[in-house]
Chain A
Amino acid sequence: MNLLLHIVRQLANAIGLLFAVLVLNFCLIHAAPGDPAMVIAGEMGGASADVIAALRIKYGLDKSLFEQLFTYMSKVVTGDFGFSYYFNEPVVSLILQRIPATLYLVIAALVMSVVIGTLLGVVSARKPNGLFSQGVTVIALAGYAAPVFWTGLMLLLLFGSVWPILPVSGMIDVVRPKTGFAHVLDIIQHLILPSTTLALVFIAQYSRLARVNMIDALTADYVRTARAKGLPETIVIGKHALRNTLIPIVTVAGLQFGHLFAGAVLVETVFSWPGMGRLVFDSILRRDYPTLLAVLFFSAVLVMAANIVTDLVYRLIDPRIRSGAR
């Protein structure tokens, strides 16, 4: 029951924060230099003074700021985030079309980085001063320092011209469209390079985190007890120590969802992946403010959702919190 209450409280908090994001969006548009009516006129390709005055009335720009905020909010609540003149489509439908592609990319990268990062960290923690461990440290440093878009371009160069075994652009093979299972395989093939690029940054961080925590865990009393009980090493590490190593990784992975998303914007641009990142790039290029601000809002929704899921996973892994909640 307590858990349910906790979730309800979290959702209420999330809604409050998202409401604040909308207010921020509204303030940003009004704080930005330039008159919104002129901006809209610009998007339409220019307009006369009469048309601009008409636009002002049509969009309520002649009303007080507070009234405008109220209008904006009531529109957003009904799912109206404005219209993109460049794409000639409502912003919401634009974003909803792009969310799946971004989620494929982000989730693939997340899973890859948590699994590989933890594995590297755990293995290297067994011999903290060994060759493998030092190799992992070097990889972690390099992965952290390399700009994600640069890594992407390097892989594009490698697989685009030197060793062309993987598709380097888009999400599907447009020349030979496939159906059914072949279609899924096609997407997975296209996903390999972008997701690996994005994952490299986080593999670096998680392997470092896993290594430090595993080294700590291996000297802890409960691990000594487990060993003294005569448990095989695989169970000591795989069950007892790993659980405590995973807690900080899950926390950090959840908190970094925003960074992951931002990284996706860059990676999508490199590999022409048709997700929200690509949409951001296009809307920056066209100064398409409604789309840009709506993407900011939807990304906040995704981050919020990720935080709530992280919190739940955290409870699953950490029995102390779980029993406390009951």
Chain B
Amino acid sequence: MTSIDTPALPRDASTLPSRPAISPTLVALRQFCRSPSGVAGAAVLLILVLTTVFGPHFYGIDPLDLVDAPFTPPGEDAWLGTDYLGRDILAGLIHGGRATLTVGGVAAIITIAIGVTIGSLSGFFGGVIDTALVKITEFFQILPPLLFAMVLVTLFGQTLTTVTIAIGVVSWPTAARLTRAEFLRLRNLDFVKASRAAGAGNGHLILRVVLPNALPPIIVSATMAIGVAILFEGGLSFLGLGDPNTMSWGLMIGQNRNYVLDGWWTVIFPGAAIFVAVLAISLIGDGINDAINPRLRKRG
């Protein structure tokens, strides 16, 4: 292991030169670029995002329009065929990707925001606050997440916003536990004590001193949370709990699932889209993990 491999060490102002020669982020980025699977994942995800953003300009069919006979197989009329109503599958994939990827991204942000807030307060302060927050986390962990999300969406209405918030609200405990563990590990280290002695308040200590050093595992967890949220959105839409007015990959599968034997293409393509997106995201997550965690890098 070379000296470059230790970017995750606490940045202690007294021992490091005031301007490090190479920033840890740059080191991690370089390391990430050396992982072929991580780069491949990033490339695939970029292609998916670009397709959903710019695709509608090049492929002008409305995903909700009935363009052909129901169950038209993939061919010249419709590249990827039509569904049980005669809607174009390719148009559905392009437009549906917007909803699915947006829900994934925003739900992951909510997940991490709640998880990191609860985890950091819990780990930093300890004592009664920790006990209370751990109990709350434990409480959320005994409710099966997808089931809880279903209940929330059923009760509060089937809109894309509800779905996104519901996914965020049920998924945060993992991030909270992870953040808490990192804070517990870091809070008594010398560089934190030094900052405290120098007069830093709790807010500064949490946000500017401990949190930056706890970030690496949180970043990995955030990446994975996007994948999980996409799978959740798929699951909810599959059960008919998506937003019926917004095309999404899960909705396509959910609406066509009873006709899988009549037209395999109605279900295979949207499922494959979810599969590819989640696969790409988890490859990126693995790549980041290897890049910022030197200990793991040695492993096969």
Contact = CB atoms under 8 A, between A and B. Distances in A.
B239 A281 contact: yes
Interface residues of A, number: 55
A212 to B, nearest CB: 7
Contact of A262 (B138, B145, B282): B145
A129 interface: yes
Contacts of A261: 144, 147
A17 B138 contact: yes
Contacts of A48: none
A147 B234 contact: yes
A266 B239 contact: yes
Interface in B139-181: 139, 141-148, 150-152, 154-157
A293 B150 CA distance: 10
A289 B151 CA distance: 8
Interface string A255-294: 1001101110110011000000000110011010100110
B242 to A, nearest CB: 12
Interface stretch (A72-80, A148-156, A231-239, A243-251): A148-156
B253 A144 contact: no
Contacts of A307: 142
A154 B257 CA distance: 11
Nearest to B153: A284
Contact of B271 (A32, A147, A295): A147
Contacts of A157: 260-261, 264, 267-268
A296 B261 contact: no
A215 B274 CA distance: 32
B48 interface: no
A144 B257 CA distance: 21
A281 to B, nearest CB: 6
B300 interface: yes
A111 interface: no
Given A33-B156, A296-B147, A147 B275 contact: yes
A21 interface: yes
A149 B142 contact: no
Contact of A156 (B151, B260, B278): B260
Contacts of A287: 154
B19 interface: no
Given A280-B150, A296-B143, A150 B267 contact: yes
A150 B275 contact: yes
B229 interface: no
B73 interface: no
Nearest to A270: B257
A149 B157 contact: no
A258 B154 contact: no
Given A21-B142, A153-B260, A296 B235 contact: no
Contact of B156 (A20, A32, A154, A262): A32
A285 B283 CA distance: 36
B14 to A, nearest CB: 35
B119 interface: no
B110 interface: no
Most B-side CB within 10 Å, residue of A262, A281, A285, A299: A262
A99 B267 CA distance: 30
A133 B299 CA distance: 13
Nearest to A125: B300
Given A147-B275, A156-B260, A258 B141 contact: yes
B240 interface: yes
B227 interface: yes
A284 B267 CA distance: 22
Interface of B: 138-139, 141-148, 150-152, 154-157, 227, 231, 234-235, 238-241, 250, 253, 257, 260-261, 264, 267-268, 271, 274-276, 278-279, 282-283, 299-300
Question: What are the 7 A-B residue pairs with the smallest beta carbon separation, nearest first?
Answer: A128-B300, A262-B146, A150-B271, A258-B144, A145-B279, A32-B155, A145-B278
Given A161-B261, A265-B147, 16 more contacts: A21-B142, A33-B156, A142-B275, A144-B278, A147-B274, A149-B235, A153-B257, A157-B267, A258-B147, A259-B145, A265-B146, A266-B239, A281-B239, A296-B144, A303-B142, A307-B142
16 contacts: A18-B142, A21-B142, A128-B300, A144-B282, A147-B235, A147-B278, A149-B253, A150-B275, A255-B141, A258-B147, A259-B146, A262-B144, A284-B239, A300-B143, A303-B141, A303-B143
Interface of A: 17-18, 20-21, 24, 28-29, 31-33, 128-129, 133, 141-142, 144-150, 153-154, 156-157, 160-161, 212, 215, 255, 258-259, 261-263, 265-266, 269-270, 280-281, 284-285, 287, 289, 292-293, 295-296, 299-300, 303-304, 307
